[in-house]
Amino acid sequence: MGFLNKLFGDEKQRSAYFQVLASQLSLKYDFEHDLGLVKQLSDFKLFKFGSSQKITNVIQERSIDSENYLFDYQYIVSTGKSSVRFDQTVFFVNSKQLSLPQFVQKPETFFTNLMAILGFKDIDFANFPEYSEKYHLEGEYEAVIRFYFSDELLKLLTTQNAFNMEAMNYYFILYHQSKLIDKNELNAFRNLGLMLYNLFIIQSKKSDELLKGSYL
C-alpha cells in the first residue's frame, strides 16, 4: 500500500508541475488525451511498441498552420508471466511548415555499434565527430537527411543529452526512450524541441526554394 501511495502521489505531483508550466506559458493543459493522438503518431517506431498505450499530462499549443504537444506517454510490454511498463516524455510537432525526410535518431549503444559493424547504415558527419559518436542516425534518403541536419542543428544536438528523435513529412517527435523528463527540466526540454523545430523550418524553406528553382 505504501508503494502505491508513493506512486500515485508522485504522479499527482508530476501532473501539478505540468499544470503550473502550462499556466506559466498560457497554454492548454489536459490530464489525459484520447487515443486519437496515439493513432496520429502510429507510424513512429516509439508508438508501435506494446499495448495499453496512454498519453497523460498534455500541454498543447496551436497556431494557424502548426501545433505542438508536450506529454508523458506510457505503454506496457507483456512477456507472458509478467508485464513491464515503459514511460517517456515526448515533444511532438505537427506543422505544415515542415517537409522532413523520414529518419530515426537514437543514442549510440553497444547494439547500434554492432549493427554498424554488421553493415547496417549509420549516417555520420565527418565535420561533427562528437555527434556521430553520440548518435545513431538512419533513414532511406541519406542525401536529403544530411541536408536537413544543418551545422547549427548538429551543434545544438551535440551539446544536449542524447535524445531520440523521429521525423516524417510534417511531423517530428523528440524523447528519451523509457525515461521521463524530470519535472524541473520540462520547460528546457520543450524549448529544445522548439529550437529543433525552428531549425527544421529553415531547412524546409530552403528545400522548397531549391525545388521551385529547379522548375524555373
Task: State the sign of the Cα–Cα–Cα–Cα dihedral 94, 138, 43, 107.
Answer: negative
The span from the CA of 165 to the CA of 172, in Å, is 7
Quick one: cell of 173? 517527435
The span from the CA of 74 to the CA of 97, in Å, is 29
Confidence at residue 198, expressed as pLDDT on a 0 to 100 scale: 97
Q: Give yes or no for a contact between 133 and 108, defined as CB atoms under 8 angstroms apart.
A: yes
Closest CA to 72 of 92, 58, 53, 86: 58
The one-character DSSP state at 182 is P
Q: Look-up: residue for cell 511532438? A: 92
Quick one: cell of 209? 526554394
Helix (H, G, I), strand (E, B) or coil at 62: strand
Domain boundaries, the chain: 2-214
- pLDDT tens digit sequence for 102-140: 999 999 875 555 555 555 678 999 999 999 999 999 999
Return the higher-pLDDT residue of 209 and 31.
Answer: 31
Q: Look-up: residue for cell 536529403? A: 144
Alpha helices in 61-123 (DSSP H): 110-117
Instruction: Read off the amino acid at residue 41.
Output: L
- Of the CA atoms within 13 Å of residue 71, those in its CB half-sphere come to 26
Quick one: cell of 55? 498519453
Confidence at residue 1, expressed as pLDDT on a 0 to 100 scale: 47
- pLDDT tens digit sequence for 140-196: 999 999 999 999 999 999 999 889 999 999 999 999 999 999 999 999 999 999 999
33 exposure class (CB count in 10 Å sphere: 0-12, 13-18, 19+): middle
Residue 7 above 50 pLDDT?
A: no
Q: How far is CA 131 from CA 102, 124, 163, 204, in A?
A: 19, 8, 12, 22
Residue 6 above 60 pLDDT?
A: no
- pLDDT tens digit sequence for 31-80: 988 778 999 999 999 999 888 999 999 999 999 889 999 999 999 998 87
Query: How many CB atoms neighbour CB 132 within 10 A?
Result: 18
Integer Rg of the chain from CA: 18
Q: Give yes or no for a contact between 68 and 197, defined as CB atoms under 8 angstroms apart.
A: yes
